[in-house]
Amino acid sequence: MNILKIKKLYIGMALLLISLNSSFVKAQIKSEVSINLKHYKLVWHDEFDGNKVDTTKWSYRSNGTHRGFAEVDGPKTISLDGKGHAIIQVIQQNKMYYVGQLSTHNHFNPVYGYFECRAKMNHSIGAHIAFWLQSPAISDTPINNTRRNGSEIDIFEYHRKSPDTIWQTVHINGYGASHKAESKQIKIAHIDSGFHTFGLLWTKDAYTFYVDGVITSTTSFGISNRPEYIILSTELTGFGGDPTQGKYPDSVVYDYVRVYQAK
């Protein structure tokens, strides 16, 4: 066998191994998601079809308030593109910054389930984006009673200061002196490009976090046993870097949000 044929054989074998590895990864992802949803059914979703936010499912959250460096203005910053996507921007106008938040509060406040969104990350230093659950009673007393008071569950947060990293965090006891949190920083290759899925399986005893169908962390910290609501948001608090270094408008794009519960 001549050298050229040997080289071609090795190249062919390498390509085959790459293909098999890719197929294994895809099968593994499919398997984990299938196991996750085997005994669950779809109970709520928004595919963001049309040209307007579905106000039977969402409300603008915290409109008119200031969070960090920005004013929250849903109507100014949130839109549907007519192609099945919700876009939440960070805007700069006349030296003012604006961010947006959507909430399912008083529309859909579930207890337990599998929550998933598909999203494309923002592009600039400054903003941070999130898909999270919130309890309306998170600041109630007595503290350390998350089964009654609930918690904030950040299914993912992302910013461009660490473009290959997402944050998965559980906050309890409100946001004052009693506040506690458990956070994981997860490095994900190529998370800064294209669409990715972010999921949370919330049961009475645990939170299990997923990225692209693969388990990234599990915790029993701050387990909530009360109704919570979904939030999609952009923020400009400094967590994502110096806002003056950002390029605007910046945005996160959501393809869908889906919630499954036990059959």
Domain positions in the chain are: 1-38, 42-262
What's the chain's length in residues?
263
Residue 108 CA to residue 127 CA, distance in Å, equals 27
| Beta partners for residue 256, in sequence order | 118
From start to end of the chain, where are the E strands? 40-46, 59-60, 66-67, 70-72, 78-80, 86-93, 96-99, 101-103, 113-120, 126-134, 152-159, 165-172, 180-187, 195-202, 207-211, 214-219, 229-240, 250-262
pTM of the model: 0.88
CATH class label, 42-262: mainly beta
Contact 58, 107 (CB under 8 A): yes
Which of 70, 215, 84 lies closest to 129 in space, CA to CA? Answer: 70
Q: What is the pLDDT of residue 75?
A: 98
End-to-end CA distance of the chain: 61
Blockwise average pLDDT, block size 10, the chain, 263 residues: 41 36 39 73 97 98 96 98 98 96 98 97 98 98 97 98 98 98 97 97 96 94 98 98 97 98 94
Phi, psi angles (nearest 5°) of residue 82: 80, 5
Phi, psi angles (nearest 5°) of residue 24: -65, -45
Q: What is the pLDDT of residue 86?
A: 98
Hey, CA dihedral for 59, 208, 216, 187, is it positive or negative? positive
Q: What is the pLDDT of residue 34?
A: 66
Q: What is the pLDDT of residue 146?
A: 98
Q: Which amino acid, residue 174?
A: G
Q: What is the pLDDT of residue 133?
A: 99
